[in-house]
Amino acid sequence: MARFEFATAARILFGEGTLAEVAPAAAALGRRALVVTGASSERAGTLAAALAAAGVSPIPFPVSGEPTVELVSRGTEFARAEKCDVVISIGGGSAIDAGKALAAMLGNPGEPLDYLEVVGRGQPLLQPSVPYIAVPTTAGTGSEVTRNAVLGSPAHRVKASLRSAGMLARLAVVDPELTLGLPRAVTASTGLDALTQLIEPYVSSRANPMTDGFCVEGIRRIAAALPRVWENGADRQARSDMSWASLLGGLSLANAGLGAVHGFAAPIGGMFPAPHGAVCAAVLPHAMAANVAALRQRAPESGALRRYEEIARLLTGRPQAAIEDGLEWVAALCRRLEIPPLAAYGIGAADVPVLVEKAARASSMKANPIALNSDELSGILERAI
């Protein structure tokens, strides 16, 4: 067996009602908690009261939209002035990535651009983050167990990561109850992000035996649960399965990497106001088809082709399913969940060359099962528009 590494949050709590564990855990880690939330912070109110009762001062920091370098700079100054010694995120991927970045910057000197990949100076984060607790309220990003925070840099029109093993959360609390009220469109786009984050690590050039098991379990769960939460957002069993699958996706991508879909998501999200999950969903079926075609042409013996076959079986539930059945299943799910094409975000044919050039350099692209040439990358994007 090839050597591999696996790292994750120090502690993971999963299950309905686990939100109640956050305040006592925070009290063991600090006295002044920066509480990073999305734009609507209703649930954070419950958490803030529990924190206060546990002797921890909650310092609210709401974030609207996906986090930027500027937001993290401003938030770091604010949190340093407030003497925050623990950071808690409660929200979707944006709140979690923002909190994770802030916890890293509170533990290290300087500003985010000193450490940012691709567009920053890319210096290593030498010190660990201040203690960080992640509480996702969507089932999609898996960011509660990843070691990077994706930040937008409007000046460069791209997204790039702060990344360090020291950024892993001290505690990840995955309470499926928090996802019960998610709007339908968010359920769809975050759910398809979770599916992408299980498919890409499974066929990744960095896949390992531990993440393989997580991917197989997660893909099987999502195949049944995502159509169900789309039909009925109050289906507790299906919501719980989605939270579980999302967590498995985070564990997998953090240790096995991603691929072409996320390679495109970084520059598209940097240049256009498109939610990450919706972008991934629009690109996923076309990237899968292009990867399969390229593998058949240039690497017909590749193990990745057998993995695409396994994905088809897991998605359709049919042991005889062929790769094409899996591709069609994903495309049909995207239609059923009313995923708009990329044109809905103002992306057109004229944007293809620059997006392809940026995607080819994105860190996620390196783990794609086969190197795609610029014609193949352009083809994916043209079909996703």
Chain residues that interact with Zn ion, rule: CB under 5 A: 193
Q: Which residues contact 335 (CB under 8 A, 6 or more apart)?
A: none
CB of 43 to Zn ion, least distance (A): 23
CB of 127 to Zn ion, least distance (A): 27
Name the closest residue to Zn ion (Cβ): 193
CB of 191 to Zn ion, least distance (A): 11
Q: Which residues contact 214 (CB under 8 A, 6 or more apart)?
A: 198, 248, 249, 251, 252
Classify each residue of 323-335 as buried b or exposed e, where b means 16 or more C-beta atoms within 10 Å of its C-beta: bebbbbbbbebbe
Rounded distance, CA 346 to CA 32, Å?
42
Closer CB to Zn ion, 69 or 253, in the complex? 253
Closer CB to Zn ion, 193 or 241, in the complex? 193
Alpha helices in the chain (DSSP H): 22-27, 42-53, 69-81, 93-107, 112-115, 184-203, 209-231, 236-256, 260-271, 276-298, 303-316, 323-336, 352-361, 374-384
Closer CB to Zn ion, 66 or 193, in the complex? 193
CB of 306 to Zn ion, least distance (A): 24
Closer CB to Zn ion, 175 or 193, in the complex? 193
Alpha helices in 144-259 (DSSP H): 184-203, 209-231, 236-256
Q: Which residues contact 140 (CB under 8 A, 6 or more apart)?
A: 92, 93, 189, 190, 191, 192, 193, 194, 246, 277
Q: Which residues contact 47 (CB under 8 A, 6 or more apart)?
A: 19, 22, 23, 35, 58, 88, 90, 135
For residue 80, count other CB atoms closer than 10 A to its CB.
Answer: 12
CB of 42 to Zn ion, least distance (A): 25
- 136: β partners: 91
CB of 147 to Zn ion, least distance (A): 15
CB of 48 to Zn ion, least distance (A): 29
CB of 302 to Zn ion, least distance (A): 24
Closer CB to Zn ion, 144 or 193, in the complex? 193
Rounded distance, CA 33 to CA 85, Å?
6
Closer CB to Zn ion, 143 or 164, in the complex? 143
Closer CB to Zn ion, 147 or 313, in the complex? 147
Closer CB to Zn ion, 68 or 302, in the complex? 68
- CB-side exposure of 84: number of CA atoms within 13 Å? 31
